[in-house]
Amino acid sequence: MNLDRKTLKGLPGAFSLGMGMIGLLLINFAIWFDTDFPGLLSPVEEIAGIFLAIVGLFMKVDKKVALAGLLVNIFLIIFVFLTLMLSWGINPKP
């Protein structure tokens, strides 16, 4: 297997997008099976995905993939935060 520099430069963005897609998949499974998704989706994964996307944006190759990974990971953090805040606002003391 011969890996050249162009292939290796695109990996941070691809990993970021992959982490974001896995996060979306976990949220969908949590909603379908009625489980607690904050336990399945760690914010550390999303912060790592954002970091990898920022690294991927500084590479010369596949900036679109890195940008997509950045947007998906930011969306996941905002979605989880808003979901928790709205549910806490509806029923603050269970």
Q: Is 73 exposed, middle or buried (0-12, 13-18, 19+ CB in 10 A)?
A: buried
Q: Helices 43-57 and 11-32: crossing angle, nearest 10°? A: 150
Cβ contacts of 11 within 8 Å, gap of 6 or more: 56
Q: Which residue has the higher pLDDT, 70 or 60?
A: 70
pLDDT tens profile 13-53: 888 999 889 888 888 888 888 777 655 567 788 888 889 89
pLDDT tens profile 51-60: 989 998 888 7
Predicted pLDDT of residue 8? 66
